[in-house]
Structures are given as C-alpha cells and as structure tokens.
Amino acid sequence: MLELTAIFGGSFALALSGALMPGPLLTVTVSESVRTGFKAGPLLITGHALLESLLVIAIVLGLAPFLKAPLVMGIIALVGGGMLLWMGVDMVRSAGGLSLKKERVSNPSRATARPVLIGILASISNPYWTLWWATIGLGYLIAAMKFGFLGVAIFFAGHITADYAWYALISLGISRGKRLLKDKTYQVMIRICGLFLVGFGAWFLFSARGYMAKAGF
C-alpha cells in the first residue's frame, strides 16, 4: 500500500512539474477559458487524457523504442508543427471578429466536443510530449508495472490528477477575470495566444530538421 501511495505521489509531482512549463496546451487553455469559461480547462485535459491513455497502452505493449526513433519524432514534429501553425494563424486572423458579448452556446454537445478535440490536437502536435513519455514517463511507468495493472492505473491516476488540478486552476483564474475584459483586450489576448502557437509551430518545424537528419534524410 505504501509503495502504491508513493507511485501516485511521485507521478503527481512529476506531471505537475511538466504541466507548469509553458506549451501549446497551456496557450489554448488560456484562449478557450476566455471564450467558454472554467469548463474549458477540464474539457481540454479530458482530450489530453484520452490521448495519454492510448500512449500509455502503446508503451506498455513495448512501443517506446519506436516512439523514440528519430524518423518518428521527425514526422511528429513536422506534422505537429504544421498543425500548430494552422491553429495559430487561424486564431490571429479571426481575433478581430470575436466578441465576448456574442459568445453563446447554440449547440451544447458541439461546445463540449470542441475543447476535447483541441486538447487532443494540442497534445499530439507537441513532439516533446511524446518524447517525455518515451523517456521520463517510461522510467516511472516501468516501476509502476512491477505492481501489475493496479500499479499502472495508480501511476496514470496520479499523472492525470495533476493535469486536471493545474489546468482547472488556470481556467478558474481566467474565467473569473473574464468579467473585467473588454472586447478589445479579449481580441489582443487571442492574437497573442495565436502568435505563441505560431512560434511553437515554427520551433517544432525547425526541430524536425534535426530529427530527419539523424534518420538519414
């Protein structure tokens, strides 16, 4: 029991240290929280968690060496960088027509699905997220696997609890401050978030060159 508690605590602390670092997921959490309020953070992390659960299964099945291959990382960086560029440019271009007064939920199911999908896209487009799981995450996951399925489940629970806690806190802070925002400030924030995504996309595309070079391309 003590070992399993340690696995949960260690996984929580490790995931929290990673969540605190700026990245595409944090950027879209800020922009979506301004648009849809507190629920954005939990919904984005739900998409993130769905993707991570599949990745954990893949690692348990022995696909970690494949995920660390330079060619695979290069392809992820290339496609992911392109996705982030597209998302960022779209946010910058559409920011001028956005208004907090116009934000209405006409289709609740669509309003729920959108952040979940964005959470998946923001995660999978980040090659360092895959690399983290294939290296640092793999080490902790192997330790948890000694306790069988229960160990893996507790490890994942600790990891995803940290993500939910941090991003829910971010969404709460943004949504509370939303009442003080004017449309002009809102549009500027969306543009800044879009520019950050463009920056991340360009960085990932640049890093793809290095991975491809290592793969012999």
Total domain count, the chain: 1
Q: What is the pLDDT of residue 96?
A: 83
> In the predicted model, what is the mean pLDDT of residues 84-101?
81
In 3D space, the residue among 89, 119, 105 whose CA is nearest the CA of residue 190 turns out to be: 89
What are the pLDDT digits (tens) for 15-73?
Answer: 887 787 778 888 889 888 888 888 999 999 999 999 999 988 888 888 878 877 888 88
Contacts of 6 (CB under 8 A, 6+ apart): none
Q: pTM for the complete prediction?
A: 0.80
In 3D space, the residue among 142, 166, 144 whose CA is nearest the CA of residue 155 turns out to be: 144
Tell me which residue range forms the domain holding 9. Answer: 2-214
Helix intervals (H) in 20-69: 24-36, 40-60, 64-68
- State yes or no: pLDDT of 110 exceeds 70: no
